Amino acid sequence: MLDQPQAEPGPGFCLNNPALPWLNAFTRALAGHAEWRTIQQKNDPHIFENLSKGQSPKILWIGCSDSRIPAEQILNLKPGDVFVHRNIANVLSPSDLSSLSVIEFAVAHLKVEHAVVCGHTSCGGVQAALANKSLGVLDMWLQPIKQLRFEHGKELEAAGEDKVRKLSELNVLNSLEVLKMNPTVIEAVRKRGLQLHGLIYDLKQGKLETLDGEEEEDVRGRKFDVFAVE
């Protein structure tokens, strides 16, 4: 059995030992957790007791797994405020059970008021979709983005150096379309005004920017007619 991790280094432990890089990072993470916990309890002595009773987030956040885009931090929100789902390149597919389960739980049971799809600049998944190198199982995962590359080839070429960003934006809008055709989402939009949003996070500026995912009323109505279920 593996030893339980220690929050503090033991005797003779060298934090900067290059032979143990993962342990160094993990030890720092545990120390950071202890500091974070202290700060949270100082700001709100009952925070963890209240969180243990349940959750009622207002936002569903569907983003990229990239370590540089932690939802709660860049939104400056507290634990319990955001229900988060992250995967490689924030891809939404109508056949992906993982994302479908998250959407169902967040929208139908937690009754979030906003559903957000957030992409970002310099996305490794999008860059991979623009290349033609074999990436194993990721080749299939990135297929929806490659399809966008195919459909918007001229537009992407015209973007020049902004090609990666442009494809990232198209990917966000495409994932929004998947949300708009989800029966659970359609019902929530119709009955209680669930709002859908597309965002791009600019890594160089540390700034969120909105994408225009609005559509005409008749288009929305036709989608409701086709994809809604009873």
Please give the structure tokens belonging to residue 33: 């957790």
**Can you give the pLDDT at residue 125?**
98
Distance CA 215, CA 51 (A): 37
Tell me the pLDDT band of 172, cut-offs 50, 70 and 90.
very high
Of the CA atoms within 13 Å of residue 178, those in its CB half-sphere come to 20
Q: In this predicted structure, which of 82-91, 195-204, 219-228 has the lowest mean pLDDT?
A: 219-228
Of the segments 9-23, 193-207, 215-229, which one has the largest average pLDDT value?
Answer: 193-207
Distance CA 125, CA 141 (A): 9
**Can you give the pLDDT at residue 23?**
66
Please give the structure tokens belonging to residue 182: 């989800």
Tell me the pLDDT band of 228, cut-offs 50, 70 and 90.
confident
Residue closest to 170 by CA, chosen among 141, 131, 207, 130: 130
Share of the chain above pLDDT 90, in %: 78
As a whole number of angstroms, the longest Cα–Cα distance in the chain is 70
The pTM of this model reads 0.86
Strand intervals (E) in the chain: 59-64, 82-87, 114-120, 195-202, 207-211
**Can you give the pLDDT at residue 9?**
46
Tell me the pLDDT band of 6, cut-offs 50, 70 and 90.
very low
* H helix or E strand, kind and range, residue 163: helix 163-180
Dump pLDDT digits (tens) for 96-105. Answer: 999 999 999 9
How much is the mean pLDDT over the chain?
90
| Average pLDDT rounded to a whole number, residues 82-88 | 99
Distance CA 110, CA 56 (A): 6
Please give the structure tokens belonging to residue 120: 């970002």
**Strands of 207-211's sheet, edge to edge?**
82-87, 59-64, 114-120, 195-202, 207-211
Q: Any binding-site annotation on 14?
A: no
Catalytic amino acids?
A: 64, 66, 68, 120, 123
CB 160 within 8 A of CB 173: no
* Chain-centre distance for alpha carbon 194: 18
Q: Any binding-site annotation on 123?
A: yes
| DSSP structural state of residue 106 | I
